[in-house]
Amino acid sequence: MTLQIFLQQLVNGASLGSMYALIAIGYTMVYGVLRLINFAHGDIMMVGAFLTYFALEASMPFELSVLVGIAGAIIIGILTDKIAYKPLRSAPKISLLITAIGISFFLENLFTVLFGSTPKPFHAPEYLTKIFQIHGIYLPISVIIIPIVTVAILAGVLWILFKTKQGIAIRALAFDIETVKLMGVNADKIIMIVFAMGSALAALGGVFYAISYPSIDPLMGIIVGLKAFAAAVLGGIGSVTGAVLGGFILGFTEIFVVAMFPDLGGYKDAFAFFFLILVLLFKPTGLMGQDLERGRF
Amino acid sequence: MSSFLKVDNVTMQFGGVTAIDSLSFEVQKGQIYGLIGPNGAGKTTIFNIITGNLHPTKGRILLNGEDITGTKPNKVVYKGIARTFQNIRLFKSMSVLDNILIGFDARAKYSYFEAILRLPRYFKYERELKEKAYELMEIFGISQFADYFATELSYGNQRKVEIARALATNPKLLLLDEPAAGMNPNETADLSEIIHKIKRDFDLTILLIEHDMKFVNAMCDSVTVLDYGEKIFEGKPADAIVNEKVVTAYLGDFTHA
């Protein structure tokens, strides 16, 4: 492998990893407070991408369209919690999990019925898709911007978690919801904030996905969502830094394995789950995860 | 004189089990009031009812004359009630400072957006709250542990963190569930002193559950003794330990032995 190809794959991997990372943060934060694997999370990403697409079709400027997508995803994320998960707060965790899968199917089928299953072309503005060529490396602007935005967002999320009163409450919720309430904290509001944050990041991940593979369809959230989930587990579910780390590791591995062993290209989706199985076998708490009774985020 | 906390004819049934049966007692402002009785007598249930975790089957809870029955836990805090737990319930792998800061949540007056935009109010309040948290830790002599995980502290110090966290919510009524449990005599004496001090300095009324009769005798102005959810004694702690019914409840009835 020449240096050029190596660098090319490196930027591609960083870009793909960023998408997984953004979506994985939502998985890990919701798990942190509710102990719920929110399987509808990948579909929230799809909702974000679709709403952005519709806003673009209505000839809104790109930046505004992304905001529309994010806002819509936040609303759907919060509604999911309020309508489907909140009534089950004291129910067994397995009921929550099944409900999450139900919401996932619901969103996928709703969007298929409403908008058809044919993939729709996603037209990102030219300044994002313009390709630079430096020493034989092809660099669409988006591939540079996506990882930078992701790292900045990680810094922002960590700052919120560790430096604001809402962040302290989010971390405390992971330990003991009843006691948090006795501190005067409205636990439902904090859980709402967590869903809002997760959904916003998922929508952004969905937009990045749509820019990189310029088409969207109602089932796009399934495989990306599952991979992001694998990334969250790989990093240590509950840990935000771990989720981002897991996302990048998964992105790099996927890109490099395909680059080095083109024959295995057809199996690229399998690597994430191969990783997931290895992690569950040898280090169930993940890279950054600790004993469930100990640290979170 | 009207009472500060009035438990008025409260009954609590879980299915067919009556955990508390028509219980009434009154705590005057500035008192340290003891709630004692054998295991399973319903003491902690009363705490859960006062803080809104449980809704009583019958009866009312009055605070300063206001009916607060069934107020949600996160609203009861604003009425000025805080509690600690029998089995310490700190946020385990968060720092002692963060554990206490969350108690200030009710008072932190900046919104999410102000925090994200880093408006001046955010910095001002964060700084003030941190200072207040350190003042609280000073009182309990635990400020040197501010950055430790709560679980890294000794049992006695964890109890102090829990009481400090409760005080951070600015209560008028403090509920202490077995504060001296698991402490050695030195730690217990230390704790008594601190409780008296915070009661004075923060102008508190205290309702406490305790098994250590020596501690109760030294601390409480008045006690109610519960047995199987019923009040069997009310009065001075010194009189409680010589009361026939109380002794029977704790030790069994020897007349039939």
The ranges assigned to domains in chain A are: 3-282
The answer to whether B7 and B25 are in contact (CB under 8 A) is yes
How many residues comprise chain A? 297
SS (H, E, C) A22-60: HHHHHHHHHHHHHCCCCCCHHHHHHHHHHHHHHHHHCCC
Strand partners, B8: B60
pLDDT recorded at residue A138: 83
Taking the complete model, does pTM exceed 0.90, yes or no?
no
For chain A, list residues whose CB is within 8 angstroms of any CB belonging to chain B. Answer: 156, 160, 163-166, 168-169, 171-172, 175-176, 178-187, 193, 290, 293-296
CATH class of B1-80+171-257: alpha beta
CB contact under 8 A, B115 and A183: no
For chain B, list residues whose CB is within 8 angstroms of any CB belonging to chain A. Answer: 51, 53, 72-74, 76-78, 82-83, 85, 89, 91-94, 98-99, 101-106, 108, 110, 112, 115-116, 122, 126, 129, 151, 165, 168-169
Q: What is the DSSP letter of B95?
A: B
CB contact under 8 A, B72 and A180: no
pLDDT recorded at residue B257: 46
**A115-133 per-residue burial string, b: 16 or more CB within 10 A, e: under 16:** eeeeebebebeeebeeeee
Structure tokens belonging to residue B183 = 């402490």
From the number of C-beta atoms within 10 Å of its C-beta (0-12, 13-18, 19+), residue B114 rates as middle
Q: By C-alpha distance, which of A69, A72, A60 is closest to A125? A: A60
Among the residue ranges A214-228, B107-121, B197-211, B231-245, the one predicted with the least confidence is B107-121
Distance CA B222, CA B206 (A): 11
Strand B173-177 and strand B205-209: the pairing is parallel
pLDDT recorded at residue A285: 85
CB contact under 8 A, B74 and A169: no
> Does the structural domain A3-282 have CATH classification 1.10.3470?
yes
The answer to whether B195 and B5 are in contact (CB under 8 A) is no
From the number of C-beta atoms within 10 Å of its C-beta (0-12, 13-18, 19+), residue B229 rates as buried
Mutate to test the interface with B, among A158, A176, A179 (most CBs of B within 10 A): A179
CB contact under 8 A, A172 and B122: no
Locate the chain B residue with the closest alpha carbon to A184: B74
- The per-residue pLDDT for range B36-92, each reduced to its tens digit, is 988 888 889 999 999 999 999 999 999 998 999 989 988 898 899 999 998 889 998
**pLDDT per residue of chain A (297 residues) written in tens, 0 to 9:** 688 888 888 988 999 999 999 999 999 999 988 889 999 999 999 999 999 999 999 999 999 999 999 999 999 999 999 999 999 988 888 999 999 999 999 999 999 999 998 999 998 888 888 888 888 788 888 888 999 999 999 999 999 998 888 888 999 988 888 889 988 888 999 999 999 999 999 999 999 999 988 899 999 999 999 999 999 999 988 889 999 999 999 999 999 888 888 888 788 888 778 888 888 888 888 888 765 444 445
pLDDT higher than 70, residue B186: yes
Using only C-alpha atoms, what is the Rg of chain A?
Answer: 19
Mean pLDDT to the nearest integer, B89-115: 78
Distance CA A71, CA A104 (A): 19
Strand B205-209 and strand B32-36: the pairing is parallel
Report the residue from B92, B116, B122 with minimal CB separation from A293: B92
Report the residue from A164, A184, A187 with minimal CB separation from B115: A164
Q: What are phi and psi of B217, to 5 degrees?
A: -60, -40
The answer to whether A245 and A14 are in contact (CB under 8 A) is no
Q: By C-alpha distance, which of A240, A259, A255 is closest to A21? A: A240
How many angstroms separate the CA of residue A172 from the nearest CA in chain B? 6
Report the residue from A169, A176, A296 with minimal CB separation from B105: A169
Distance CA B246, CA B225 (A): 7
The answer to whether A29 and A240 are in contact (CB under 8 A) is yes
Domain locations along chain B? 1-80+171-257, 91-168
Mean pLDDT to the nearest integer, B108-114: 60
Distance CA B64, CA B79 (A): 10
Q: Largest Cα–Cα distance of chain A, in whole Å?
A: 61
Residues of B in contact with A176 (CB under 8 A): 89, 91
Q: Which long-range contacts (CB under 8 A, 24 or more apart) does B126-131 make?
A: B126/A163, B129/A165, B129/B101, B129/B104, B130/B97, B130/B101
In the block, which residue shows the tokens 């409403």?
A114
CB contact under 8 A, B105 and A168: yes
Tabulate helix, strand, coil % of chain B (nearest 5).
45, 25, 35
How many angstroms separate the CA of residue A186 from the nearest CA in chain B? 6
| Spatial CB neighbours of B106, under 8 Å, sequence gap ≥ 6 | A183, A184, A185, B77, B78, B169, B170
Structure tokens belonging to residue B102 = 């969350």
Residue A139 Cα distances to A11, A12, B238, angstroms: 8, 9, 84
Locate the chain B residue with the closest alpha carbon to A176: B91
CB contact under 8 A, A184 and B94: no
Helix (H) or strand (E) holding B63: strand B58-63
CB contact under 8 A, B91 and A175: yes
How many angstroms separate the CA of residue B201 from the nearest CA in chain A? 21
Could you give the angle at which helices A62-80 and A41-57 cross, rounded to 10 degrees? Answer: 140
CB contact under 8 A, B85 and A179: yes
Mutate to test the interface with B, among A159, A166, A181, A182 (most CBs of B within 10 A): A182
How many angstroms separate the CA of residue B114 from the nearest CA in chain A? 10
SS (H, E, C) chain A: CCHHHHHHHHHHHHHHHHHHHHHHHHHHHHHHHHCCCCCCHHHHHHHHHHHHHHHHHCCCCHHHHHHHHHHHHHHHHHHHHHHHHHHHCCCCHHHHHHHHHHHHHHHHHHHHHHHCCCCEECCCCHHHHCEEEECCEEEEHHHHHHHHHHHHHHHHHHHHHHHCHHHHHHHHHCCCHHHHHHCCCCHHHHHHHHHHHHHHHHHHHHHHHHHHCCEECCCHHHHHHHHHHHHHHHHCCCCHHHHHHHHHHHHHHHHHHHHHCHHHHHHHHHHHHHHHHHHHHHCCCCCCCCCCCCCCC
CB contact under 8 A, B105 and A184: yes
Distance CA A207, CA B219 (A): 64
Dihedral angle sign, alpha carbons of residues A73, A78, A84, A90? positive
Mutate to test the interface with A, among B48, B87, B94 (most CBs of A within 10 A): B94
Structure tokens belonging to residue A215 = 């088409």
Identify the band that residue B110 occupies on the pLDDT scale cut at 50, 70 and 90.
low
